[in-house]
Structure 1
């Protein structure tokens, strides 16, 4: 892999804040932190485009005592067999369950799945965490 050096002009105060944060996070140097930020920028762009292949997780906390939530969660997951890779189900206590659904496919379709799952009655909290498939990242 060829490495290219480039210069960036930034206000001193911005650089000082950046250096404090990357030190807190444990980065060895600015270059590695900037590479991570660039990768994140590329992943976000892939998601914004909507048609490229992306991956992610949909994490949901729900009350399994809600009348239809378990059935609806399962039914919805069966509607998206091509995009849903796997799911993990954890019993948090006697009433609450945590489910993580692992997805891969077109960004627009993954967003649709997340919206449908997270809006179900009985889902207390949830989040779509987006990433790429790694094909476009160096």
Structure 2
């Protein structure tokens, strides 16, 4: 690991310290490393040919007309992306699914958009990983 020195104005340092405390970082270095990793992920998302991993999570109404079948059909069309899926029954009406995906990031984004945009999907989020 390399040691570097950076200069921050007082307001920015206060904001960094506040963020560190809110998120439970033990020191400024951990916070800065995390912020930098997040920015590198965002920058690498510009390349749709890049290979990577992502986690797709969504809540949906399992009784919505043919929704479960449409989601499964969407996932089967791009079956090579799915590594594993966890299915949780939240209550009588709703289910939560968490799917680990691996492949070309453009394909992962397309699958995610297809699932999240289905009528009856209440919440959806794609977390891209390096």
Both proteins in one fold, TM over 0.5 = yes
Distance 1:63 1:26 in 2: 35
Structure 2 runs not aligned, ≥5 long: none
The equivalent of 1:66 in structure 2 is 64
Structure 1 runs not aligned, ≥5 long: 133-138
| 1:1-138 equivalence runs, <5 A | 3-132=1-130
Deviation at 1:9, TM superposition (A): 2.4
Instruction: Give TM-score, length-normalised by structure 2.
Output: 0.91
- Deviations along 1:66-117, one digit per CA (max 9) or x if unpaired, are 1110110111111111111111111111111111111011111111000000
Deviation at 1:18, TM superposition (A): 0.9
Poorly superposed stretches of 4+, deviation over 6 Å:
none
Aligned residue pairs, count: 130
Distance 1:24 1:121 in 2: 36
Supply the RMSD in Å over aligned alpha carbons. 1.4
